[in-house]
Structure 1
Amino acid sequence: MPSNEPTLKWLSDVSVFKVNRLEAHSDHRYYKTMEEAERQAPMELRHSLNGDWKFSYAVNAASRVQEFYKAEYDTRGWGDIQVPGHIQLQGYGKPQYANTMYPWDGLDAVRPPAIPEESNTVGSYVKFFEVPANMGNGPVFISFQGVEAACYVWLNGHFVGYSEDSFTPAEFELTPYLQEGANKLAVEVYQRCTGSWLEDQDFWRFSGIFRGVYLYTVPELHVQDLRINAGLDAAYQQGTLTAGLSMATAADALVKVELKDEAGMVVAEDEVQAVGGKAAFTLQAGTVSLWSAENPYLYSVCISVFNNGGELVEAIVQRAGFRTFELKDKLMLLNGKRIIFKGVNRHEFNSRRGRNITKEDMIRDIIILKQNNINAVRTSHYPNQTLWYELCDEYGVYVIDEMNLESHGSWQKMGAVEPSWNIPGDKPEWQDIVMDRAVSMLERDKNHPSILIWSCGNESYAGEVILNVSHYFRKTDPGRLVHYEGVFHNRKYNDTSDMESRMYAKPADIAEYLESQPDKPYISCEYMHAMGNSVGGLHKYIELESRYPQYQGGFIWDYIDQALVTKDRYGEEYLAYGGDFDDRPTDYSFCGNGIVYADRTVTPKMQEVKFLYQNIRLVPERDAVKIINGNLFAGTEGLRLEYRLYREGRQIFKGEQEVAVAPQAEGRIPLALPEVSGAPGEYTLAASLLLKEAELWAEAGFETAYGEHVFWIEKAETAADQEKVMLPAAGEFRVIEGDVNIGVTGRGFAALFSKQAGSLVSLCYGGREMIATPPAPLFWRATTDNDKGTSLAYHAGGWFAASLARSCTAVRLETGKDRATVTFDYAFSISRELKTRIEYTVYADGKLRVRMVYTGAAGLPDVPVVAVSFRMSADYGESDWYARGPEENYSDRAYGARLGRFRRKVTELPSPYLVPQESGNRTGVRQVRITDERGCGLQIQAAAGEPLECTLSPYTAFELEQAAHPYELPKVHYTVVTIAAQQMGVGGDDSWGAPVHPEYRIPADQQLEFEFWVTAAVPEA
Structure 2
Amino acid sequence: MKTLLFIFPLVFIFFSSWYSYAQQTTLKEWENPLVTEINKEPGRASFMSFPSPQEALSGAPSPFYISLNGKWKFHYSKSPAERPVHFYNESFDDNNWPEIKVPGNWEIEGFGIPIYVNIPYEFADPRTPITELKNGPEPPKVPHGFNPVGSYRRKFHLPQSWENRQVFIKLGAVKSAFYIWINGQKVGYSQGSKLPAEFDITPFIKPGKENTVALEVYRWSDGSYLECQDFWRISGIERDVEIYSQPKVRIRDFEVVAKLDQAYKNGQLDLFVDIKNHLPHNKKIQIKMSLLDSDQIIAEKIQTTLVPKMSEITVEFHSEISPVIPWNAEKPHLYQLLVTLFNEEGKPMECISHKTGFRTVEIKRGQLLVNGVPVTLKGVNLHEHHPETGHVMDMEMWMRDIELMKLNNINAVRLAHYPQAEKWYDLCDQYGLYIVDEANIESHGMGYGDRSLAKDPLWKKAHLERMTRMVERDKNHPSVIIWSMGNEGGNGVNFYAGYQAIKELDRSNRPVQYERTEIGSRLALDFDWNTDIIVPQYPDPKTFEWFGERLLDRPFIPSEYAHAMGNSMGNFQDYWDIINKYPQLQGGFIWDWVDQGIRSKDDKGNIIFAYGGDFGVDMPSDGNFLLNGIVSADRQPKPGLFEVKKVHEWIKFKPLRLNESQAKILVENHYDFTNLRNFKITAYLKADGKILKTIHLPVIETPPHQGETITLDISGVTLSPNTEYFLEMEASTRKAEGIIPAGHTVAREQIKLPWETVSKEMNDLNGHLQMTETDSAYLFYTGNIELSIHKKTGRIIAYRFNKTNLIIGGEGPVPDFWRAPTDNDFGAGMPQKNINWKKATYNQQVTTVKASKNKNGSYQVNVVWELPDVKSRFSTTYIINGDGSVTLKNILEASTLEKSDIPRLGMVLLLPREFDRLTWFGRGPWENYIDRKSSSFVDLYTSSVSDQLVPYERPQENGNKTDVRWAALTNPKGIGLMVVSQNHPLEGFEMTAMPYLSSDFDASTSYEYGPVHKEQKHIAWIKARNLIRWNIDYGQRGVGGINSWGAQPLEKYRLNPGKAYSYSFTLVPVSVSKTEELTKISKQY
TM over 0.5: yes
Report if aligned partners of 2:519, 2:528 keep a CA contact under 8 Å in 1.
no
Cα distance in 2, alignment partners of residues 781 and 966 from structure 1:
16
Any idea what the Cα deviations from partners look like across 1:630-662, whole Å, max 9, x if unmatched? 112110122111222211012222232322211
Greater Cα shift, 904-913 or 670-679 = 670-679
Report if aligned partners of 2:996, 2:1024 keep a CA contact under 8 Å in 1.
no
Given the superposition, is the C-alpha separation of residues 559 and 715 from structure 1 closer, same or farther in structure 2, using an over 3 Å criterion?
Answer: closer
Report if aligned partners of 1:29, 1:318 keep a CA contact under 8 Å in 2.
no
The equivalent of 1:1008 in structure 2 is 1061
| Cα deviation, residue 712, structure 1 | 4.7
Any idea what the Cα deviations from partners look like across 1:88-122, whole Å, max 9, x if unmatched? 01111110001001102114325001111112101
Cα distance in 1, alignment partners of residues 841 and 132 from structure 2:
46
| Cα deviation, residue 489, structure 1 | 4.9
The equivalent of 2:299 in structure 1 is 268
Any idea what the Cα deviations from partners look like across 1:406-453, whole Å, max 9, x if unmatched? 000001xxxxx5x23211x23222111111111211111000001111
Question: Which among 170, 189, 195 is matched to residue 143 of structure 1?
Answer: 170
Q: What letter matches 1:210 in structure 2?
A: E
Report if aligned partners of 2:601, 2:607 keep a CA contact under 8 Å in 1.
yes
Aligned partner of residue 467 in structure 1, secondary structure: helix
Aligned partner of residue 78 in structure 1, secondary structure: coil
Equivalences for residues 354-369 of structure 1 within 5 A: 354-369=390-405
Report if aligned partners of 1:619, 1:708 keep a CA contact under 8 Å in 2.
no
| Cα deviation, residue 8, structure 1 | 8.0
The equivalent of 1:291 in structure 2 is 327
Cα distance in 1, alignment partners of residues 758 and 36 from structure 2:
82
The equivalent of 1:440 in structure 2 is 469
Cα distance in 1, alignment partners of residues 866 and 248 from structure 2:
89
The equivalent of 1:480 in structure 2 is 510
Question: Which among 713, 729, 735 is matched to residue 755 of structure 2?
Answer: 713
Q: What letter matches 1:264 in structure 2?
A: D
Report if aligned partners of 1:838, 1:850 keep a CA contact under 8 Å in 2.
yes
Q: What letter matches 2:910 in structure 1?
A: R
Does the alignment pair 1:536 with 2:565?
no
The equivalent of 1:46 in structure 2 is 65
| Cα deviation, residue 985, structure 1 | 0.6
Unaligned runs of 5+ in 2: 1-17, 19-25, 308-312, 1005-1014, 1075-1085
Does the alignment pair 1:954 with 2:995?
yes
Q: What letter matches 1:108 in structure 2?
A: E
Cα distance in 2, alignment partners of residues 549 and 874 from structure 1:
53
The equivalent of 2:1078 in structure 1 is none
Report if aligned partners of 2:155, 2:211 keep a CA contact under 8 Å in 1.
yes
Q: What letter matches 1:594 in structure 2?
A: G
Cα distance in 2, alignment partners of residues 133 and 950 from structure 1:
73
Report if aligned partners of 1:463, 1:493 keep a CA contact under 8 Å in 2.
no
Does the alignment pair 1:837 with 2:878?
no
Report if aligned partners of 2:164, 2:248 keep a CA contact under 8 Å in 1.
no
Given the superposition, is the C-alpha separation of residues 145 and 797 from structure 1 closer, same or farther in structure 2, using an over 3 Å criterion?
Answer: same
Report if aligned partners of 2:779, 2:789 keep a CA contact under 8 Å in 1.
yes
Aligned partner of residue 222 in structure 1, secondary structure: strand
Report if aligned partners of 1:647, 1:682 keep a CA contact under 8 Å in 2.
yes
Cα distance in 2, alignment partners of residues 660 and 949 from structure 1:
41
| Cα deviation, residue 282, structure 1 | 1.0
Cα distance in 2, alignment partners of residues 774 and 971 from structure 1:
20
RMSD over aligned Cα atoms: 2.0
Any idea what the Cα deviations from partners look like across 1:554-601, whole Å, max 9, x if unmatched? 100000001111111111211111001136211111011000011101
The equivalent of 2:806 in structure 1 is 770
The equivalent of 1:595 in structure 2 is 630
Report if aligned partners of 2:267, 2:323 keep a CA contact under 8 Å in 1.
yes
Report if aligned partners of 1:28, 1:226 keep a CA contact under 8 Å in 2.
no
| Cα deviation, residue 516, structure 1 | 4.3
| Cα deviation, residue 394, structure 1 | 0.9
Cα distance in 2, alignment partners of residues 896 and 252 from structure 1:
65
| Cα deviation, residue 970, structure 1 | 4.2
Q: What letter matches 1:571 in structure 2?
A: G
The equivalent of 2:108 in structure 1 is 89
Question: Which among 234, 253, 260 is matched to residue 285 of structure 2?
Answer: 253
Report if aligned partners of 1:500, 1:522 keep a CA contact under 8 Å in 2.
yes
| Cα deviation, residue 765, structure 1 | 1.6
The equivalent of 2:1083 in structure 1 is none
Question: Which among 231, 246, 256 is matched to residue 218 of structure 1?
Answer: 246
Unaligned runs of 5+ in 1: 2-6, 412-416
Does the alignment pair 1:628 with 2:638?
no
Given the superposition, is the C-alpha separation of residues 132 and 544 from structure 1 closer, same or farther in structure 2, using an over 3 Å criterion?
Answer: farther
The equivalent of 1:521 in structure 2 is 555
Given the superposition, is the C-alpha separation of residues 841 and 132 from structure 1 closer, same or farther in structure 2, using an over 3 Å criterion?
Answer: farther
Q: What letter matches 2:491 in structure 1?
A: A
Output the TM-score relative to the length of structure 2.
0.90
Aligned partner of residue 267 in structure 1, secondary structure: strand
Cα distance in 1, alignment partners of residues 492 and 306 from structure 2:
41
The equivalent of 1:785 in structure 2 is 823
Cα distance in 2, alignment partners of residues 799 and 839 from structure 1:
22
The equivalent of 1:399 in structure 2 is 435
Aligned partner of residue 256 in structure 2, secondary structure: strand
Report if aligned partners of 1:389, 1:448 keep a CA contact under 8 Å in 2.
yes
Does the alignment pair 1:171 with 2:198?
yes
Any idea what the Cα deviations from partners look like across 1:803-858, whole Å, max 9, x if unmatched? 112011101212234422222110012144x1111222222222221221111111
| Cα deviation, residue 548, structure 1 | 2.3
Question: Which among 1039, 1046, 1063 is matched to residue 993 of structure 1?
Answer: 1046
| Cα deviation, residue 271, structure 1 | 1.6
Any idea what the Cα deviations from partners look like across 1:153-183, whole Å, max 9, x if unmatched? 1111110111001100011122212225221
Equivalences for residues 852-871 of structure 1 within 5 A: 852-860=890-898, 861-871=900-910
Cα distance in 2, alignment partners of residues 173 and 376 from structure 1:
36
Cα distance in 2, alignment partners of residues 598 and 818 from structure 1:
58
Report if aligned partners of 2:171, 2:198 keep a CA contact under 8 Å in 1.
yes
| Cα deviation, residue 222, structure 1 | 2.6
Given the superposition, is the C-alpha separation of residues 140 and 716 from structure 1 closer, same or farther in structure 2, using an over 3 Å criterion?
Answer: closer
Any idea what the Cα deviations from partners look like across 1:889-946, whole Å, max 9, x if unmatched? 1111111211222233223212111211111111111122222344332222223513
Any idea what the Cα deviations from partners look like across 1:504-554, whole Å, max 9, x if unmatched? 112212332343443322111000010001111112221222332221211
Report if aligned partners of 2:114, 2:232 keep a CA contact under 8 Å in 1.
yes
Cα distance in 1, alignment partners of residues 757 and 459 from structure 2:
77
| Cα deviation, residue 690, structure 1 | 0.7
The equivalent of 2:529 in structure 1 is 495
Aligned partner of residue 671 in structure 1, secondary structure: strand
Report if aligned partners of 1:141, 1:173 keep a CA contact under 8 Å in 2.
yes
Question: Which among 924, 933, 954 is matched to residue 885 of structure 1?
Answer: 924
Cα distance in 1, alignment partners of residues 305 and 512 from structure 2:
32
Cα distance in 2, alignment partners of residues 525 and 429 from structure 1:
28
Cα distance in 1, alignment partners of residues 691 and 296 from structure 2:
49
Q: What letter matches 2:301 in structure 1?
A: D
| Cα deviation, residue 221, structure 1 | 4.1
Does the alignment pair 1:552 with 2:592?
no
| Cα deviation, residue 304, structure 1 | 2.5
Cα distance in 1, alignment partners of residues 684 and 162 from structure 2:
62
Equivalences for residues 160-239 of structure 1 within 5 A: 160-179=187-206, 180-239=208-267
Aligned partner of residue 503 in structure 2, secondary structure: helix
Equivalences for residues 498-513 of structure 1 within 5 A: 498-513=532-547
Report if aligned partners of 1:33, 1:315 keep a CA contact under 8 Å in 2.
yes
Equivalences for residues 629-648 of structure 1 within 5 A: 629-648=669-688
Aligned partner of residue 517 in structure 2, secondary structure: helix
Aligned partner of residue 713 in structure 1, secondary structure: coil
Cα distance in 1, alignment partners of residues 375 and 730 from structure 2:
24
| Cα deviation, residue 710, structure 1 | 1.5
| Cα deviation, residue 976, structure 1 | 0.8
